[in-house]
Chains A and B, each alone.
Chain A
């Protein structure tokens, strides 16, 4: 099912001509932000000289660090009176990033999400239960606006509260859900525990599953149990949020909306484009964003573009499942966390000895993070209460920095591996 057939099936030449025209405009818009004014000048790029896609590679890259360094308003290119919303990533100090939207940005976003949903077969007769977090995260409101745009009856549940989620699914006859893979697996267990067979007792037919990476095995498991068709979703807050790319009914790669974004796949080391179909790092340029245009953003997710055309008729290229990151970012409970954030929180405390380690596990379908922290020799004064206070304050410091509450375990000094690199700092035992 098409939401916007003209755009979705636009011949490649036309699509690329549209991209060229839009790149010209967005370069000019971006140059109005303090960040790009400076960055373009440094790179010797005059935004007015950008004529089309052929000039793309003259434009400088943008990184997450740039977003942090220029937080909060450095990349805003629109007049503040035209900015209507912000979403922000985790982090309360120097690690925060915020993304701003104009009314047209919200409108375009809703449109892209509606396209994604229609592409999976959802339509205005569906009942949609949104089971991801609302608020500062983009997953909740992003999907919500798209679902309403499509015309579905939308139940804004948010994440958690599993019993109520299940009750609502029964009471309102929910047919479409949006959920993270880890929460979906947990939901399956809860259904089983309550003796509910979704295939018999619910009307569920489509599950939009995203915000965390998951495997084909998980998809099969969810489809078998829920009796619903599971679609993979891709998005990131810097590029609006969910709805950047989505699977069609072919379930072979995710169509990325190339009328709104330029997609590049580059070698993370050389930053040169990879050969067609090769794996590399995603780089994206927003084409229609007004409030906060972002040029050549190094997303750091690794994937490849699938060759050939899709039988569904859409001309927008498909990206494969995300297979990793070119940096050390972790996704914990759907929240992006960098080990360096945890390090910063720990190292701000004099009681902490130097050694630390993150352990990620999955308990009942939910991510669980344990931070092992060595106690500094000099801190220990023989008081168990003091140690427990320390545990609490470490927990608080990490939560402040990452918005994720870890379990904190105190360990003896010099017992954690010392060598550098994330391999020993992070032990990810999650299996999905």
Chain B
């Protein structure tokens, strides 16, 4: 199962730069990142090529870090790409905890990342239904 590094941080200046600095120092390449904030604190998520190394580097920099499994799906970067997947997820009554996407090649390929309670189950289900669920090595090797 592919994982992303999830980091707890305070909403204050310089925190994000400190994280990216730590990742760069560890030779970690960031594929995608999102930040959500709530009541004075934030959670940053990093999809990277070397999650374990990323977690270690961020921990060393003083941040609480967790590695969280995700389901990454490759899709066409075209109108309706996402619209083919979401109804599938909905049909299983699965609650999306978080989701984000990024483009691999403009007009060709995009990746969508889903965070759910049971990622293994969702991964298998989407594969069975013709989605191209990325393996760990696929994702890390982008």
Chain A residues proximal to chain B, CB less than 8 Å: 375-377, 379-385, 387-388, 391, 409-415
B66 at interface by CB-CB < 8 Å: yes
A379 CB contacts on chain B under 8 angstroms: 64
Taking a contact as CB atoms under 8 Å apart, the answer to whether B64 and A391 are in contact is no
Taking a contact as CB atoms under 8 Å apart, the answer to whether B41 and A381 are in contact is no
7 interchain residue pairs of minimum CB distance:
A382-B6, A382-B66, A380-B64, A382-B68, A409-B40, A410-B41, A381-B66
In B27-51, which residues have CB < 8 Å from any A CB? 36, 38-41, 43, 45
Taking a contact as CB atoms under 8 Å apart, the answer to whether A412 and B64 are in contact is yes
A385 CB contacts on chain B under 8 angstroms: 97
B62 at interface by CB-CB < 8 Å: yes
Q: Which of B36, B39, B45, B59 sits near A409, CB closer than 8 Å?
A: B39
B8 CB contacts on chain A under 8 angstroms: 375, 380, 387, 410, 412
B63 at interface by CB-CB < 8 Å: yes
Taking a contact as CB atoms under 8 Å apart, the answer to whether A415 and B10 are in contact is yes
Taking a contact as CB atoms under 8 Å apart, the answer to whether B41 and A411 are in contact is yes
Give the one of A383, A384, A391, A411 with max B CB within 10 A.
Answer: A384
| Known A-B contacts A375-B8, A382-B68; A413 and B62 likewise in contact (beta carbons under 8 Å) | yes
Give the shortest distance, in Å, between B67 (CB) and chain A (any CB): 8
Give the one of A376, A377, A385 with max B CB within 10 A.
Answer: A377
B43 CB contacts on chain A under 8 angstroms: 382, 384, 387
A411 CB contacts on chain B under 8 angstroms: 10, 41
Closest to B9 in A: A412
CA distance A414 to B62 in the complex (A): 8
A415 CB contacts on chain B under 8 angstroms: 10, 62
Taking a contact as CB atoms under 8 Å apart, the answer to whether B64 and A377 are in contact is yes
B65 at interface by CB-CB < 8 Å: yes
Give the shortest distance, in Å, between A114 (CB) and chain B (any CB): 48
Taking a contact as CB atoms under 8 Å apart, the answer to whether B10 and A413 are in contact is no
| Known A-B contacts A411-B10, A412-B9, A415-B10; A384 and B38 likewise in contact (beta carbons under 8 Å) | yes
Interface contacts beyond A387-B8, A415-B62: sample of 13 additional A-B pairs, CB < 8 Å, sorted by A: A379-B64, A382-B43, A382-B66, A382-B67, A382-B68, A384-B38, A387-B38, A387-B43, A388-B38, A410-B10, A412-B10, A413-B62, A413-B64
Give the shortest distance, in Å, between B80 (CB) and chain A (any CB): 30
B62 CB contacts on chain A under 8 angstroms: 412-415
B36 CB contacts on chain A under 8 angstroms: 384
14 A-B residue pairings within 8 Å (CB atoms):
A375-B64, A377-B64, A379-B64, A382-B66, A385-B97, A387-B41, A388-B38, A410-B39, A411-B10, A412-B8, A412-B9, A412-B10, A412-B64, A413-B64
Taking a contact as CB atoms under 8 Å apart, the answer to whether A412 and B63 are in contact is yes
Give the one of B8, B39, B40, B41 with max A CB within 10 A.
Answer: B8
Give the shortest distance, in Å, between A374 (CB) and chain B (any CB): 9
Give the shortest distance, in Å, between A290 (CB) and chain B (any CB): 50
CA distance A383 to B65 in the complex (A): 11
B66 CB contacts on chain A under 8 angstroms: 380-382
A381 CB contacts on chain B under 8 angstroms: 66, 68
In B7-32, which residues have CB < 8 Å from any A CB? 8-10
CA distance A376 to B8 in the complex (A): 11
